[in-house]
Structure formats: structure tokens, C-alpha cells
């Protein structure tokens, strides 16, 4: 608890000016060349928007599970992240704690997003999902922006036929982003989901986190509909890639590549 309070205090003192960051105004040095929040804040305005409440309302489906956060106006993704951080809304604070998102994580993700030429031009209107790794925003053009601290695909597996098609993706420092079509979650029957999961598992994937904790031990557990969605053309997709672990063959290939890189780095370290 003491560490959490310290992080909040540190965040408030060091990065309270992030809302006012404008990369175009810093001709001498860009955000990408900065190594700490302290250095960034030295070159930004003292007028902070923490007192400006961008959040209109929020809704939680149950404790720790955010359903939606609506912003009063279209704002940058960085402002969206920090609005969540500084919010006193219990639905939001409970969800951040429940999903174990620390203040420093949100701060550095906001810095990554603000320093990216593409992401800094986007505008978000809502937060429509919050997982243990992903912040899912709706853009003002109706598309979805996923921001994750690290790759959203477990063990860096490749996107497959059952994953939501990615329109655009990239990375800014430690933050990964994915632009996707917004999926519809109406009409998701348990039968459809069972057949979908069976089809994916037949390809060698292992599903996880698709049951509620109080359903796991039941004979016929109920599948979490919020992990799935239907596209405009009627195709069913898995919204959260973290739910599907790669087949053993693919995992073996990933491990082989990781081992190769580890050996290469060891060789270079010995040569220095």
C-alpha cells in the first residue's frame, strides 16, 4: 500500500504537465530523445489539466470490470490514459487496482503515446474495455484503438484467423498499439461461442480466461461473452488475443528464436 501511495505522489509531482505536451513546439529536442519524465516536464507548461475533468460518466458490469468510460469531448489517447489515472471515480479506480495497472505504467504509456507522430494525432471518445494488459479506446471515427504495455499476443504469437483483423499496428517504446474495426457483441449465444472455441482448439490452441471465476468448476460453465465480437460482415472473432495460447509447435519455434537471440547477446557481451 505504501508503494502505491508513493507512486501516486511521484506521478503527481513529476508528470503533472503531460496534458500540455506538444512535440511540435520542442524543436530543439523531441520527446523521443527524452529519457525521463522529469526532463520532459522541465520543458512543458505549468498549467496542468488535472483539475479539468474529461470524464462524463462510467459504468461497471461488476467490481473491477469496467464496461465503459465516456469522455466529455474527443481527447488525445495520452489525455485518456491520464484521465483514468487521476480519476476519483470508484468504478475506474477499482478497475485499475483489480487489473493491477500502476500509476507509473499509465504515465509511461502516456509518454510513449504522446511522443508518437501517428498516435498523437488520434482522438478518443470512450474507453470500451480494460484488461490486465490492454486499454481499449473507441476513436472518434468509430474504430478501436488498443494500447498495451508489451505485445498483446501471448508469447508473441502471430495473429491468426480467429483474431480481430488489424487495420494498423505499431509500437512506441514499450507501448504497442492496434487499430481495429469495432465489433458488435449482440446475439452472442453460448452455442456459437462453444463451437467457435472448439474450432480454434482443433487448430492446437489452448483457451484460457474465457470463463468467469465462479463458473470454472461447473459441468457446463458459462463463457464470457465480452471476450468475443461479431464484425460487420457477420464473422465471429476473439477480442482478447491473450485468451488463446499458441500450439506447442508454434511455442517451440518461439522458444527456439528466443534462445538464439539470447546466445547472440551473450557472444556480443563477451566481445566487449
pLDDT band at 32 (very low <50, low <70, confident <90, very high): very low
Same domain for 11 and 129, yes or no, is yes
Residue 236 has pLDDT above 80, yes or no: yes
The last residue of one of the domains, among 130, 147, 180, is 180
pLDDT band at 176 (very low <50, low <70, confident <90, very high): very high
Which letter does DSSP use for residue 61 in this model?
E
What Rg value do the Cα atoms of the chain yield, rounded? Answer: 20
Same domain for 166 and 49, yes or no, is yes
**C-alpha dist (Å) from residue 96 to 101, 196, 213:** 5, 30, 19
Quote the pTM value: 0.74
Query: Rounded to 5, what percent of the chain is helix, strand, coil?
Result: 40, 25, 35
Q: What is the pLDDT of residue 155?
A: 82
Q: Between residues 212 and 133, which one has the greater pLDDT?
A: 133
The last residue of one of the domains, among 124, 153, 180, is 180
Residue 25 has pLDDT above 50, yes or no: no
Q: What is the pLDDT of residue 224?
A: 86
pLDDT band at 38 (very low <50, low <70, confident <90, very high): very low
Residue 94 has pLDDT above 90, yes or no: yes
Least reliable range by pLDDT among 8-22, 141-155, 169-183, 233-247: 8-22
Same domain for 106 and 211, yes or no, is no
The last residue of one of the domains, among 180, 195, 220, is 180
Same domain for 127 and 79, yes or no, is yes
Same domain for 124 and 6, yes or no, is yes
Q: Rounded CA gap, 143 and 182, in Å? A: 5
Mean pLDDT score of the chain, rounded to an integer?
A: 79
Q: Which residue has the cell 467490481?
A: 63
pLDDT band at 262 (very low <50, low <70, confident <90, very high): low
Tens of pLDDT, residues 181-222: 999 998 899 999 999 999 999 999 998 888 766 666 667 788
Averaged pLDDT, 21-36: 39
Q: What is the pLDDT of residue 142?
A: 97
Same domain for 85 and 219, yes or no, is no
Mention every residue, 6+ apart, whose C-beta is less than 8 A from residue 137: 77, 80, 124, 125, 126, 127, 128, 144, 145, 146, 147
Same domain for 218 and 117, yes or no, is no
179: closest CA among 209, 207, 152, 208? 152
Count of structural domains within the chain: 2
User: Which residues share a beta bridge with 68?
Assistant: 59
Kindly report the number of other CB atoms within 10 A of residue 115's CB atom. Answer: 21
Same domain for 25 and 121, yes or no, is yes
Q: Which domain, by its residues, includes 82? A: 2-180
Q: Which residue has the cell 483539475?
A: 51
Q: What is the pLDDT of residue 264?
A: 55
Least reliable range by pLDDT among 125-129, 136-140, 184-188: 184-188
What are phi and psi for residue 17, nearest 5 degrees?
Answer: -105, 10
Contact (CB, 8 A) for 137 and 128: yes
Same domain for 153 and 33, yes or no, is yes
Same domain for 156 and 219, yes or no, is no
Same domain for 115 and 54, yes or no, is yes
Q: What is the pLDDT of residue 270?
A: 55
Same domain for 202 and 232, yes or no, is yes
Pairing relation of β-strands 206-207 and 228-230? unpaired
Amino acid at each position: 500500500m505504501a508503494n502505491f501511495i508513493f507512486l501516486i505522489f511521484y506521478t503527481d509531482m513529476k508528470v503533472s504537465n503531460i496534458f500540455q505536451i506538444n512535440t511540435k513546439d520542442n524543436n530543439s529536442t523531441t520527446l523521443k530523445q527524452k529519457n525521463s519524465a522529469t526532463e520532459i516536464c522541465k520543458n512543458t507548461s505549468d498549467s496542468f489539466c488535472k483539475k479539468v475533468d474529461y470524464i462524463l460518466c462510467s459504468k461497471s458490469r461488476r467490481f473491477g470490470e469496467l464496461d465503459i468510460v465516456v469522455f466529455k469531448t474527443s481527447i488525445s489517447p495520452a489525455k485518456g490514459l491520464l484521465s483514468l489515472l487521476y480519476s476519483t471515480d470508484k468504478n475506474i479506480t477499482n478497475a485499475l487496482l483489480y487489473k493491477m495497472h500502476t500509476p507509473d505504467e499509465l504515465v509511461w504509456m502516456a509518454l510513449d503515446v504522446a511522443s508518437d507522430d501517428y498516435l498523437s494525432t488520434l482522438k478518443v471518445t470512450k474507453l470500451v474495455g480494460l484488461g490486465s494488459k490492454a486499454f481499449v479506446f473507441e476513436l472518434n471515427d468509430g474504430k478501436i484503438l488498443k494500447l498495451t504495455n508489451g505485445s498483446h499476443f501471448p508469447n508473441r504469437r502471430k495473429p491468426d484467423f480467429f483474431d480481430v483483423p488489424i487495420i494498423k499496428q505499431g509500437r512506441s517504446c514499450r507501448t504497442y498499439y492496434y487499430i481495429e474495426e469495432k465489433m458488435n457483441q449482440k446475439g452472442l449465444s453460448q452455442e456459437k461461442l462453444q463451437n467457435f472455441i472448439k474450432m480454434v482448439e482443433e487448430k492446437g490452441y489452448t483457451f484460457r480466461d474465457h470463463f468467469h471465476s465462479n463458473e470454472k468448476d461447473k459441468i457446463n460453465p458459462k463463457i464470457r461473452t465480452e471476450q468475443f465480437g461479431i464484425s460487420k460482415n457477420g464473422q465471429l472473432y476473439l477480442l482478447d488475443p491473450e485468451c488463446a495460447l499458441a500450439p506447442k509447435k508454434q511455442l517451440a519455434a518461439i522458444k527456439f528464436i528466443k534462445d538464439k537471440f539470447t546466445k547472440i547477446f551473450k557472444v556480443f557481451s563477451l566481445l566487449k
